[in-house]
Amino acid sequence: MSTPRPRRHDPDRRDRIIDACLDVIAEHGVAGTSHRRVAAAADVPLGSMTYHFDGMDALLREAFTRFADQVATLAERRMAAAGSLEEALDAFAANIEEDVFGTQRDLVITHELYTLAARRPEYRDITTAWMARTRATLEPFVDSTTAVLLDAMNEGLSIHRALHQHSPRPGLAREAIARLVRPAL
């Protein structure tokens, strides 16, 4: 009979599907993310998909929510270690250059989320919350306008990184931050 898929009792299958969904998004874009592909990536029967999730949209929401949370958490940890303005700005620069968009995968997923949110307001709670957390990590150290500008620069530089062949010159992020944070005269 050739072992007919013995699975059964597979907790964290739901989790696995969400992770697989992010992989598929990174590879094929939201456009190319189908139940079939995610099921294959998660090694889960197709019928499982609509059993666990109400539809593609529900799955996308969960996937992007998890992604944003993971990235934001990492950023928070980095920033939490900073004891001074100087250290905070260094940490923020490191975030830009290393963590957040360190991998092409994360960068692609981020853009897929932005694009989805740009067109469909119902996804904006995810991006809004994410950006709020990012700014919150800065607010112990700088005023609110500066925090907004630093976050904008964060986005801007990572777009450049995504869309250029050659990497930006090292230190660019730190330089941008230095200019944006006006020294008290």
Partner DNA sequence: AATGAATGAGACTTCATTCAT
Partner DNA sequence: AATGAATGAAGTCTCATTCAT
Kindly identify the residues of this chain, within the stretch 57-96, that bind DNA according to CB under 7 A. 57
19 burial level (CB within 10 Å; 0-12, 13-18, 19+): middle
- The only residue of 16, 131, 133, 174 in contact with a copy of itself, by rule CB under 8 A: 131
Distance of CA 86 to the CA centre of its chain: 25
Residue selected from 70, 73, 128, 167 as contacting a copy of itself according to rule CB under 8 A = 128
d(CA 28, CA 11): 27
Closest CA to 92 of 174, 32, 20: 174
- Which of 14, 15, 38 lies closest to 26, judged by CA? 38
- By a kind-dependent CB cut-off of 5 to 8 A, residue 5 interacts, out of a copy of itself, DNA, none, with DNA
Identity of the residue, 77 or 103, whose beta carbon is nearer to a copy of itself in the bound complex: 103
Residue among 15, 27, 45, 132 that touches DNA (CB under 7 A): 45
The residue from 22, 35, 75, 97 that contacts DNA (CB under 7 A) is 35
Which stretch in 9-17, 69-77, 84-92, 164-172 sits in contact with a copy of itself by CB under 8 A?
164-172
30 close to 112: Cβ distance less than 8 angstroms: yes
CA distances (Å), origin 173, targets 68, 155, 176: 21, 11, 5
Nearer to a copy of itself, 18 or 116 (CB): 116
Residue 153 CA to residue 70 CA, distance in Å, equals 21
Q: Is 46 in the site for DNA (CB under 7 A)?
A: yes
Q: Which two tokens stand for residue 57?
A: 């949209």
Compute how many residues bind DNA; rule: CB under 7 A.
27
- Minimal distance, residue 57 CB to DNA, in Å: 7
Interaxial angle between packed helices 144-163 and 172-180, expressed in degrees from 0 to 180 and rounded to the nearest 10: 160
Residues 55 and 60: their CA atoms lie apart, in Å, by 9
Residues between 72 and 111 that touch a copy of itself (CB under 8 A):
104, 107-108, 111
In the complex, the residues that contact a copy of itself under the rule CB under 8 A are 26, 29-32, 104, 107-108, 111-112, 114-119, 121, 124, 127-128, 131, 145, 148-149, 151-157, 159-160, 162-165, 168, 172, 175-176, 179-180, 182
